[in-house]
């Protein structure tokens, strides 16, 4: 079984500058749930990493985050997929924790808990900090143009060797059929 790591907001679901603060605000990006289902059917383990500073900012609580994740899990299951685990950072940018992306703490936690080397593991994100955290942990960063992807694509610090895809579905196409095209 292979592992893939996905960011949540902007990769799986629509992002919001005002944060996703309730299950009602969590809306999947078209094709993302089906892409996760295809990964599951191909025997991939899907793990999500997400910064959730809205908790530290007092915009929502841990119970609300769990309800948002329950909605995500249910929606993925309804398409025949499975998210094996969600790793999140509840801290704000001024907390200087090790788990808030771009630091690789969430990735190190995944490696430790799953007893796996992340070298070459695909990690899909829409922000520079997603890509930086993945690279710092030895994973292989991939960028999608959904969410904050367009801004990230224009960022001068974006490494030229990072593959870019229109969305999660097209990234999964490339991962599952690497010789296509």
Q: Determine which one of 7, 15, 126, 130 is catalytic.
A: 7
Annotation marks residue 9 as catalytic: yes
What digits encode the pLDDT tens for the residues 75-127? 999 999 999 999 999 999 999 999 999 999 999 999 999 999 999 999 999 99
Domain locations in the chain as residue ranges = 2-176
- Residue 178's pLDDT is 74
Annotation marks residue 159 as catalytic: no
Cα distance between residue 23 and residue 135, in whole Å: 31
Give backbone dihedrals phi and psi of 122, rounded to 5 degrees, phi first.
-65, 135
Regarding the domain delimited by 2-176, which CATH topology (the fold level of the hierarchy) does it fall under?
Rossmann fold (3.40.50)
């Amino acid at each position: 079984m292979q592992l893939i790591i996905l960011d949540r907001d902007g990769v799986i679901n629509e992002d919001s500058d005002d944060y996703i603060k309730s299950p009602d605000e969590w809306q999947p990006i078209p094709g993302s749930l089906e892409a996760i289902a295809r990964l599951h059917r191909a025997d991939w383990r899907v793990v999500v990493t997400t910064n959730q500073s809205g908790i530290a900012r007092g915009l929502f609580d841990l119970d609300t985050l769990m309800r948002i994740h329950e909605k995500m899990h249910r929606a993925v299951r309804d398409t025949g997929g499975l998210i094996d685990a969600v790793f999140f950072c509840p801290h704000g940018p001024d907390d200087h924790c090790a788990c808030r992306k771009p630091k690789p703490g969430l990735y190190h936690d995944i490696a430790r808990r799953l007893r796996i080397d992340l070298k070459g593991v695909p990690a899909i994100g829409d922000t520079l900090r997603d890509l930086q955290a993945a690279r710092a942990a030895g994973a292989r960063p991939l960028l999608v143009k959904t969410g904050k992807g367009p801004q990230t694509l224009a960022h001068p610090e974006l490494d030229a060797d990072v593959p870019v895809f229109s969305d999660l579905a097209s990234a999964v196409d490339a991962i599952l059929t690497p010789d296509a095209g």
